[in-house]
Structure 1
Amino acid sequence: MSADIRKIAVWVEETHMEAGQVVAPAARKAVAVAVIANPFAGRYVADLTALMDIGAELGALLGDRCVAALGILPTQAQSYGKAAMVGEAGELEHAAAILHPKLGAPLRVAVGGGAALVPSSKKMGGPGQVLDVPLGHKDAAFVRSHFDAIEVRLNDAPRAGEIMVAVAVTDGGRPLARVGGLTHETAEGKDGLR
């Protein structure tokens, strides 16, 4: 089964100044959101394989859109994240089925690798509700400068029988990060942690 997509939205957030300090280069986050029909809305279904397959499709599609929006090579991506909000006729498990079993592998292809787990969030909500997409370094989870998030909100999604799925990618860490620890430059990216 492929995703029945009603809408896709893509945008880039750039921070040029923070706390009165110039951020150069600007801290950039791209997010791509797909609003899809929930094939299992309003009913219990034991086998969620169809949603898992849709997750794989969306991991590639949304990951590619983020990289293109940033105008970078896939290997220049530094952090990533994923999130889903299911409408009221669905279940939280529908969001989990999209996000966890299969979305990560094609997202990693889109960003040129990724040894670390892809941070995620899921929730139930309605049109106009905010969905937080957590971010973490794609190769080394202990890189504190890349612990971040971006909000997404669409005024008309998700409707009761829909799921809003978001992927976010950055080409750097937080603006003016200074809490120490492992850095992007010193991370090895072999074990997903360091």
Structure 2
Amino acid sequence: MPVRRKSLFIKEIITTDAFGQPCDPVTRVAAMVVFTNPLAGRFETDLSELFEIGATLGSELAEQAVAQLGNAPVSYGKAAIVGIGGDMEHGGAVIHPKLGAPMRAAAGGGEAVISSNVKTGGPGTSIDLPLGHKDNPWSFDHFDTMTLTVPDAPLPGEIVMCLAYADRGRPLPRCGSGPVRT
């Protein structure tokens, strides 16, 4: 297991849209962990070590995030920021092969692909973590984003892994629900 420098949680509760129109509260919780990238500084074809890190840290963070949400999760998403000593593929290895299972378990299931984003950058780099409905990938009302940043991370040899849940879609959505797929 890599050295974990810190974990962060962000909980936001939205009660109006951008124009001040009241809405049913939308709660979003993001969990982030900053850890050393064991593959930083070199090319490696076998990324399985990062797969396992995503599964292990993801299980812990997903359970904590859902507990902080306070309601049943309806949407979810994941992201990673890789320090410049690493490679975008390192972030993909952390969030793709094995992070989905613990995220779905914490959410009580999920049929839809978990939306994701990966990028490289230095300390303070922000990332737009996409959210989507956990069961219906065509629910336009649940297409959403949380912009996340850690002011002092990632350092060149670190990765910031992020995951998030929400208990409903955007405030006052008006784009329609999209086709229902059965």
**Does the alignment reach a TM-score above 0.5?**
yes
Unpaired runs of 5+ residues, structure 1, are 188-192
Within the candidate set 95, 99, 102, 1:103 is matched to 99
User: Is 1:132 paired with 2:137?
Assistant: no
Partner of 2:147: 151
Partner of 1:20: 20
What is the CA-CA distance between 1:63 and the residue it aligns to? 1.1
The residue correspondences of 1:84-103 to structure 2 (distance < 5 A) are 84-103=80-99
User: Secondary structure at the residue paired with 2:14?
Assistant: strand
TM-score (norm. length: structure 2): 0.95
What is the CA-CA distance between 1:11 and the residue it aligns to? 1.4
User: Secondary structure at the residue paired with 2:91?
Assistant: helix
Unpaired runs of 5+ residues, structure 2, are none
The residue correspondences of 1:43-62 to structure 2 (distance < 5 A) are 43-62=42-61
Q: Distance in 2 between matches of 1:181 and 1:44?
A: 43
User: Is 1:113 paired with 2:109?
Assistant: yes
What is the CA-CA distance between 1:54 and the residue it aligns to? 0.6
Partner of 1:68: 67
Q: Distance in 2 between matches of 1:70 and 1:13?
A: 9
Identity %: 44
Q: 1:78 to 1:34 in 2, by over 3 A?
A: same
Aligned residue pair count: 181
Question: Does structure 1 conserve the Cα–Cα contact (< 8 Å) formed by 2:30 and 2:165?
Answer: yes
Partner of 2:8: 9
Q: Distance in 2 between matches of 1:65 and 1:133?
A: 18
What is the CA-CA distance between 1:104 and the residue it aligns to? 0.3
Q: 1:49 to 1:114 in 2, by over 3 A?
A: same
Q: Which amino acid aligns with 2:52?
A: D
What is the CA-CA distance between 1:3 and the residue it aligns to? 3.8
What is the CA-CA distance between 1:117 and the residue it aligns to? 0.2
Question: What root-mean-square deviation, in Å, do the aligned CA atoms of Structure 1 and Structure 2 show?
Answer: 1.4
Within the candidate set 167, 173, 176, 1:171 is matched to 167
Question: Does structure 1 conserve the Cα–Cα contact (< 8 Å) formed by 2:2 and 2:38?
Answer: no
Q: Distance in 1 between matches of 2:2 and 2:53?
A: 5
Question: Does structure 1 conserve the Cα–Cα contact (< 8 Å) formed by 2:104 and 2:110?
Answer: yes
What is the CA-CA distance between 1:83 and the residue it aligns to? 0.2
What is the CA-CA distance between 1:10 and the residue it aligns to? 0.3
